[in-house]
Amino acid sequence: MRYLLRRSLHAVFLLLGVSLLTFLFSALAPGNYFDEMRLNPQISPETVAALRAQYQLDRPLPVRYAHWLNAVAHGQMGFSFAYNSPVAPLLWARARNTLLLTVTATLLAWLLALPLGVWSAARFGRAPDRVVSWTTATLLVIPDLVLALGLLIIAVRTGWFPTGGLTSVGFDELSPLNKLRDLAWHMTLPVIALILAALPTLVRHVRASVAEVLEAPFLRAALGHGLPHSKLLYGYALRAAANPLISLFGFSVGTLLSGSLLVEVVMSWPGLGPFLLEAILARDLYVVVGGVLLSMIFLVAGNLFADVLLYWADPRIRTAASAK
Amino acid sequence: MKQRRKLMIWLVILAVLHGIIAAAGFFAPYDPVEQDRERPYLPPMHIHMMDAQGHFHLRPFFYPLRLRDSLFDQYEEDTTTTVPIRFFERDAAYRLLGFVPSRLHFFGAAGARVYLLGSDAYGRDELSRILYGGQISLLAGLLGAGVTLFLGALIGMAAGYYGGWRDELLMRIAELFLALPWLYLLFALRAFLPLAVSPLEAFLLVVVVIGMVGWARPARLVRGVVLGVKERDFVRAARGFGASDFYLLRRHILPETASVLLTQAAILVPQFVLAEMTLSFLGLGVPEPMSSWGNLLATLQQYNVLVSYWWMYLPALAIVPFFLGYLSLASALQERAGAYKIEKGSWSSP
């Protein structure tokens, strides 16, 4: 239990650090949302000053940071200048869509990577393994931007997939089952783009760590005892190889979050990506800071989940933690 | 020996690829900003050896395209005249590598303009724009990697050499930078820098932004090397002779980190080229009329372009050979250094 507590504390410090960092960046920023207003002759300088005071932009940085932290603690995350409303609900509406995409892609990518990697490792050095290696190597040299745009062009030219948005027109009139189908249909393309971008790294690591474990004497012994192959691979080898893979799982969340940001913009998926881009162009300070923090929260949650998994999967960590 | 040969092969391939981009003026048939308003969105031309009458031509040629009757935007080949492709043709003036004035082009055509990869909305030659755009993208990647490696080496050496609370503090900050999803970090950094700037300033901004994102990983690797090296006998001996910290770091410790820095460079450059592409694609990077691989792709955000003009996607493919070259170089370097496995995260986050 102490292990998990320590990991959580670490996560909290990480979040505080990121929020401080983004705030420092924002302090270095030349210009802000109200600068353009100042150029507008119809708005008096007093109004601009009053607005700045209302959003507390005239206060020194530490005070603003403290205020903002307080707002975050109350689940509000500051105020959007452009939308004139608290940031948290705005962000949450978009973040849901991003989460939908990333969680689906993460799960599917791992569901594909595990059997593929194990299958390839069991045939290490032989033809099927080499086919997998070549395929992943090829995918690895195609950057995600290139991949996403390419998929989009294919979709547009064939008409197999919708090319943007979350749902079709008339979504509200559909039956629940059709709603789900419509959503899945819209999700397919971005999810494929995300999976293809993440898959090669995952497969390569699963393959490498399982192949390493397969050399171990205890598995040779188990093979000699005549255990069935599938049980050997999935019951014993994968379990023994799980440790680095679980850490990789934490990493893959971050990669997929970044990837999702780009894929959302390319495929006009109404998630955090287009929203943040818009906020950057409008200099909507708190939205950007909030968005970065939110992504960090997702990432930290993914890592904490990986830590819990590790605690569950690796007896060494459990005993080390309870021995203290 | 085999590893060494592999390394050399990839180095030569990369040198050739970079050479082509560096000599964009020679390989590009036209000036990248020269417009031809009569021919927007011209599809890539077909190069023939056999003409419509079935005669074989020794010199490859193309048919000039003309608008199909009463149809906007639909071109057809005008088979009445053949325009031969000529190599080492004299055309638009340019400066090779930025200073040698020249008019010589690798290929061209007299009488009609040749659009090997089609043209864009203003009738600018896409091939020329890709070649010139590569200069901006690659330069941004190389300079960004330079900034990152400089910062990483500096911070890593300081942390490893001085140790104590400085090490602790610097490595905690590095962890922070490593943890953040890199595109969010890129966004956050870019968000707080000025938006409306001249193309040159924008380019420098992009270099600074991508340079500041990736220092954490090289810093940690360099620190690891420094921790090992600083207790080695030759360093202790030099210290015993009264060498200053600066001398020790520069003369004895920095050379030991060279192999780590080199491998990191091979990993970082393609990623930073991609970072530039991403920023410019999103409109946060290098603006028009300057071309870069990223802002060439930005037109694809318009739906009609996406539907009708597939050749506007071609700039995206330009980066692929570079990725292949650099990643293979990186793995050859890693193999030489004895580390067979490719470190996780080295691809996913700079």
For residue A166, pLDDT over 90 is answered with no
Q: How far apart are CA A32 and CA A282, in angstroms?
A: 9
- Minimal CA separation from A124 to chain B, in Å: 15
- Which amino acid does the sequence have at B257? T
- Nearest Cα residue in chain B from A261: B183
- Minimal CA separation from B240 to chain A, in Å: 40
CB A288 within 8 A of CB B187: yes
pTM assigned to the model: 0.84
Contact between A296 and B344 using a beta-carbon 8 Å cutoff: no
* Mean pLDDT calculated for residue range B191-201: 75
Confidence of residue B345 (pLDDT cuts 50, 70, 90): very low
How many pairs of residues across A and B have Cβ atoms under 8 Å apart?
Answer: 138
A109 in contact with B, Cβ within 8 Å: no
ipTM at complex level = 0.81
* Mean pLDDT calculated for residue range B224-236: 86
Q: Using CB atoms within 10 Å of the CB of residue A315, give its burial: 0 to 12 exposed, 13 to 18 middle, 19+ buried.
A: exposed
Contact between A292 and B323 using a beta-carbon 8 Å cutoff: no
Q: How far apart are CA B144 and CA A322, in angstroms?
A: 46
The two tokens of residue A250 are 């934490």
- Which amino acid does the sequence have at B211? G
* Mean pLDDT calculated for residue range A264-292: 84
CB A164 within 8 A of CB A268: yes
Q: How far apart are CA A107 and CA B134, in angstroms?
A: 37
- Minimal CA separation from B159 to chain A, in Å: 19
Who contacts B285 (Cβ-Cβ below 8 Å, separation ≥6)?
A: B202, B206, B276, B278, B279, B292, B294, B295
Give the residue with greater pLDDT, B232 vs B38. Answer: B232
CB A219 within 8 A of CB A237: yes
Within a 13 Å sphere around the CA of B288, how many CA atoms are in the beta-carbon half? Answer: 13
Contact between B282 and A277 using a beta-carbon 8 Å cutoff: yes
For testing contact with chain B, the best of A153, A264, A278, A285 (most B CBs within 10 A):
A153
Asked, as a colleague might, if the bond just before B350 is cis with ω within 30 of 0, I would say: no
Give the residue with greater pLDDT, A69 vs B9. Answer: B9
Q: Number of H helices and number of E strands within chain A?
A: 14, 2
Q: In chain B, pLDDT over 90 holds for what percent of residues?
A: 11
The two tokens of residue B301 are 């955000």
Residue A273 has a pLDDT of 87
* Mean pLDDT calculated for residue range B184-194: 75
Q: How far apart are CA B267 and CA B134, in angstroms?
A: 18
- Kindly give the residue spans of alpha helices, DSSP state H, lying in A127-170: 127-140, 144-158
Contact between A25 and B189 using a beta-carbon 8 Å cutoff: yes
Confidence of residue A322 (pLDDT cuts 50, 70, 90): low
A94 in contact with B, Cβ within 8 Å: no
- Minimal CA separation from A295 to chain B, in Å: 8
**b vs e for B82-100, b when ≥16 Cβ sit within 10 Å of the residue's Cβ?**
bbebbeebebbebeeeeee
Nearest to B195 among A152, A255, A281 (CB): A281
Measured in whole angstroms, how far is the alpha carbon of residue B259 from the centre of its chain?
22
Distances, alpha carbon B291 to alpha carbons B136, B170, B281, in Å: 7, 38, 11
Q: Write out pLDDT tens, residues B75-131.
A: 877 777 778 888 888 877 888 777 888 888 888 887 778 888 888 888 888 888 999
Range 192-231 of A in CB contact (< 8 A) with B:
201, 204-205, 208
Residues of A in Cβ contact (< 8 Å) with B192: 25-26, 28-29, 288
Residue A321 has a pLDDT of 62
Residues of B in Cβ contact (< 8 Å) with A257: 181, 184
CB B64 within 8 A of CB B47: no
- Minimal CA separation from A26 to chain B, in Å: 6
CB B299 within 8 A of CB B129: no
**Length in residues, chain B:** 350
- Nearest Cα residue in chain A from B294: A145
* Mean pLDDT calculated for residue range B50-66: 80
